[in-house]
Amino acid sequence: MDLGVESREKTRAMVVELSKKVKKIGEDDPRRIAHSFKVGLALTLVSVFYYVTPLFDGFGVSSMWAVLTVVVIMEYTVGGTLSKGLNRAIATLVGGALGVAAHQIAVLCGEKGEPILLGLFVFILAAAATFSRFIPEIKARYDYGVTIFILTFSLVAVSSYRVDELMQLALQRVSTIVVGVATCLCTSIFVFPVWAGEDLHKLVAADLEKLANFLEGLSTEYFAEKGEVENLESKSFLQVYTSVLNSKPTEDSLMSLARWEPGHGRFWFRHPWKQYLRIGALSRQCASSMDALATYITASPKFKPSTDPDLHLKIRKTCQEMSSESAKALKELSASIRAMTVPSSASRHASTVVATVRKLEDVLSEGKATSDVLHSATIASLLTQLVVRAREIAGSVEELARLAHFKRLDPIHEVRVKP
């Protein structure tokens, strides 16, 4: 084959592959496309300060700081943009003001003492600000602001030794950065906003539904009367919980951004975002119990032939009831979070599970310590740990409903969960 033809075929294949990848990214979350247009819109708007002569005469070459600000602080979510925008604006204002103040004080020391005092100020403030970044509370919310403060103060303080019109330069830079921040905030909030808090809310609800699907799969496919199946590894319900195990970084990130966001839609100011992290932590503990149970039943997928068929049937039926009721409770909790209504029937399902656990303990105490009974008892014990976690989740969701003032519906208007 001709080398030119082969090269064109490879190029074409790469273009097709890239097109498919871009299409998939857009289909997975169409908001990504909207965000790309929002960044382009914000940059176009601040560019006006450079293109329009009257505006350029007022701001000068400092107009480019507005463009740089948009590029640096425009984030995917409203919370991310607010966090970086407010950090940058306040840090620039404070750093610029202290830089000018340092210059005014250093001037009093004369021509020889001025650079020494300026260097001392830069050293002290830069060292102190850098150390503050190791404080966990500042690191979590204000790390970017501290970095911008160090940058702004150092630039203003050092340049003040050579620049004559320092105040004008500082005002121009601060004002253009404020313009850039304001443009980003308006674009992020009013043009197809993406709220981190809403994403966190949906993520926690979706995770509970995944846990419910695992328990529902146990009830209908493993503990059911005809549930002794081969190739359990291929069953989708045994892997549905795995994404929950790795959800902590996403939840932490969304929560820290959600705290910056103003009240919007169903989420008012000072919404209890930390409670979502507690629910997420309990969900991961429940998913860990599911992982242990899934590993065990995958290694020995069938209930072993029992020397006591009646006992074997009792254990199977009890386990099926436990998993079924827990699945219903978790699905009801997930639906209530999505609709922001007080869960009404979840506590009833949880109480049924507790009664079933006691029944299971009585059933197990009746059997002899044979290998098949020990096998069933192990599965029952792992399942018991799992449903206990599910009950703790129910309590945490009820606490969220109380803190966030979820609506309390009449029985005829209760959120219905798909069977």
Q: Return the SS3 of 125.
A: helix
Q: Cα 365 from chain centroid?
A: 45
DSSP states along 174-219: HHHHHHHHHHHHHHHHHSS---HHHHHHHHHHHHHHHHHHHHHHII
Amino acid at 44: T
**What are the Cα distances from residue 206, in Å, to 219, 253, 341, 343?**
20, 17, 16, 16
For CA atoms 267, 268, 269, 272, the dihedral sign is: negative
**What are the Cα distances from residue 340, in Å, to 102, 272, 329, 389, 398?**
53, 13, 16, 22, 11
Burial category of 148 from C-beta neighbours within 10 Å (exposed 0-12, middle 13-18, buried 19 and up): buried
Residue that is written with structure tokens 């009449």 in the block: 410
For CA atoms 152, 157, 160, 161, the dihedral sign is: negative
Query: How many other C-beta atoms are found inside a 10 Å radius of the C-beta of residue 269?
Result: 8
Phi, psi of 407 (to 5 degrees): -70, 140
DSSP states along 56-105: HHHHGGGHHHHHHHHHHH--SSHHHHHHHHHHHHHHHHHHHHHHHHHHHH
Contact 114, 292 (CB under 8 A): no
Token digits for 174?
């601060």
Tens of pLDDT along the chain (419 residues) come to 455 677 778 888 888 888 888 888 888 889 999 999 999 999 999 988 888 878 777 777 778 888 999 999 999 999 999 999 999 999 999 998 898 899 889 888 888 888 899 999 999 999 999 999 999 989 988 999 999 999 999 988 888 777 767 777 778 888 888 899 999 999 999 999 999 999 999 999 999 999 999 999 888 888 776 555 556 666 778 889 999 999 999 999 999 999 999 988 889 888 999 999 999 999 999 999 999 988 888 876 555 555 567 777 777 888 888 888 889 889 999 999 999 998 876 666 666 766 676 666 666 666 555 566 677 778 888 888 888 888 889 889 999 999 999 988 765 444 444 44
CA distance 217 to 235: 9
DSSP category for residue 307: S
Helix, strand, coil abundance in the chain, percent, nearest 5: 80, 0, 20
Alpha helices per DSSP H over 246-308:
248-258, 273-299
Contacts of 118 (CB under 8 A, 6+ apart): 102, 103, 106, 157, 158, 160, 161
CA distance 253 to 245: 16
Contact 213, 242 (CB under 8 A): no
Contacts of 20 (CB under 8 A, 6+ apart): none
pTM for the whole structure: 0.85
CA distance 307 to 58: 92
What does the H/E/C string look like for 314-361?
A: HHHHHHHHHHHHHHHHHHHHHHHHHHCECCCCHHHHHHHHHHHHHHHH
